[in-house]
Amino acid sequence: VKENNIPPKETARKDSSVKTYAMPPREVRAVWVATIGGIDWPREHFTEAAQKAWYDQMLDTLQKLNINTVYFQVRPKADAFYDSPYEPWSQYVTGYRGKAPTYDVLKWVIDETHRRGMSFHAWINPYRVDQKQRPNGRFSKLDPKIPKNLVKDYRMVRVYNPAMPETRRRVCNIVADLLRKYDVDGIHLDDYFYPALVKGEKMRDEAEYRRYGKAFPSIADFRRAMVDSLIASMQDTIKAVRPDAVFSISPQGNYENNYNTMYADIEQWSKRGWCDVIIPQLYWSTERWFLPRLKWFSEHATVKTKLLIGYALYRFDRNAKSTVYRTPDDLGTQIDSARANRRVSGAALYSAYWLMKNPVGINRVIAARFPCPTLPPYLGQGEEKKPDVPQGLHADGYTLSWQLVRDCYYAVYKVVEGKAELIQAIYDNRITLPAAGYYFVTAVRKGNNAESLPSQTINIK
């Protein structure tokens, strides 16, 4: 393992019943897969075969770059990439809103992602229902599944009204339904809370403030409290349905804009433990805002949460207006700067299509910093409760198998000069190994990635 390219290694994990080894470091290496407009997937591939082929190509690229986590957008704008009782099928799946595809899209992409040893987090937008492409355009006809009394129209965007208690209950019910139906490792929210309005437009929520906001000294405090209530309720919902699932949020990198325009109080959410992971979108160069905003988030958003950093791959282009984006060098500087901060637990790259396109050779910079596979770290709050150790390791030639551990995937390690090197994360309990040597296995909890102590070591000859 090229340890100089990844964060400081963890101490050896101790257990009197098995030999211990120096374990490799762990970090989140995530990629966003945006589906609104088909940005990353399915990119106007509307047949089952074409969609599957494109996703497999994408996963091939991610796997080569040692990515271990996918944030996949399953609900872009009050629609779904699965059969939902609350909202229609997304138009981005078949080309027509409400039209079902020929296969269970979400199950298939989850299974394929897990088959590559990557975690899968379901990314949703909480409030957005529709948006216009131009000011004189019209919103789409409201689907009959969506209650009209919960919807509010602005000049360019239609949203679920953030001030309505029924909105919060509905969004939480949608999340609970998703968690019960699908083997997702977490729920992920993006940066859209109260709508960003066009210049001169007003929020028009005075009636809601009069009805629900008597306890708040200002309408801005009221709005923040409404978003706070959604976040706290969603955390409660997630932990009630699936306690080990991770709740992550990717706010804008501009913390003042979050607080005063989106009415998203990131610092409060962290202090209260209302989410497990914060991923600010630090979409600037180190010549501008990247470093000071990295400092702010590391100091204010890590009380009870883990911190990942979001990077803007789309800014890199040989014809970019700013010369800093005409080479991939600053991307490397950004990642290195974040890694030097001990509160940062990993990276999230926006977005998958740009890894396929590889403008100005950004993949070379990423590959240099992710030279070998690694597990994501424990992303829960409080003490890590380790799963049971895998038992019954058995070798048949180069095929290694073991007994299943409930609600876990597995990490297969090879012992090299007293150190453990991660060979592969796997969602099966059987693997064909590439070479002879000494191996052991750990169980890793789906969702928060709590890892067991090592199994017995077995010699593959």
pLDDT tens-digit series, residues 433-451: 999 999 999 999 999 999 9
The per-residue pLDDT for 298 is 97
393-418 mean pLDDT? 97
State how far the Cα of 143 lies from the Cα of 148, in Å rounded to an integer: 9
* CB-CB neighbours of 60 under 10 Å: 12
User: Nearest 5°: CA angle at 26, between 25 and 28?
Assistant: 150
359 phi and psi, to 5 degrees? -65, 140
Q: Are 54 and 43 in contact (CB under 8 A)?
A: yes
pLDDT exceeds cutoff 80 at 18:
no
Entry field: residues in the chain: 461
State how far the Cα of 220 lies from the Cα of 226, in Å rounded to an integer: 10
State how far the Cα of 164 lies from the Cα of 159, in Å rounded to an integer: 11
pLDDT exceeds cutoff 60 at 4:
no
Q: Are 304 and 332 in contact (CB under 8 A)?
A: no
pLDDT exceeds cutoff 90 at 138:
yes
Q: Which residues does residue 432 pair with via DSSP β-bridges, in sequence order?
A: 399
What is the tally of helices (H) and strands (E) in the chain? 12, 18
State how far the Cα of 186 lies from the Cα of 447, in Å rounded to an integer: 6
The per-residue pLDDT for 451 is 98
Mean pLDDT, the chain, rounded, equals 95
Of 110-114, 218-222, 233-237, 299-303, the one with minimum mean pLDDT is: 299-303
In single-letter form, the type of residue at position 202 comes to K
Q: Which residues does residue 278 pair with via DSSP β-bridges, in sequence order?
A: 249, 307
- Which are the contacts of 344, defined by CB distance < 8 A and separation ≥ 6? 294, 298, 307, 308, 309, 338
Confidence class for position 7, pLDDT limits 50, 70, 90: very low
Measured over the CA atoms of residue 285, residue 377, residue 179 and residue 162, the dihedral's sign is negative
Distances (CA, A) of 35 to 181, 195, 329: 20, 20, 28
Helix, coil or strand: residue 153: strand
285-293 mean pLDDT? 97
324 phi and psi, to 5 degrees? -65, -25
The per-residue pLDDT for 20 is 79
Which candidate, 154, 157, 170, places its Cα nearest to that of 130? 157
Of 1-15, 196-210, 407-421, the one with minimum mean pLDDT is: 1-15
State how far the Cα of 189 lies from the Cα of 192, in Å rounded to an integer: 8
Taking only the tens place, the pLDDT of each residue in 158-188 is: 999 999 999 999 999 999 999 999 999 999 9
Predicted TM-score of the model (pTM): 0.95
pLDDT exceeds cutoff 70 at 89:
yes
pLDDT exceeds cutoff 60 at 15:
no
58-65 mean pLDDT? 98
In single-letter form, the type of residue at position 60 comes to D
Query: Using CA atoms in the order 344, 346, 347, 352, what is the torsion angle rounded to 10 degrees?
Result: -160
State how far the Cα of 365 lies from the Cα of 362, in Å rounded to an integer: 5
**First and final CA of the chain: distance in angstroms?**
22
216-242 mean pLDDT? 98
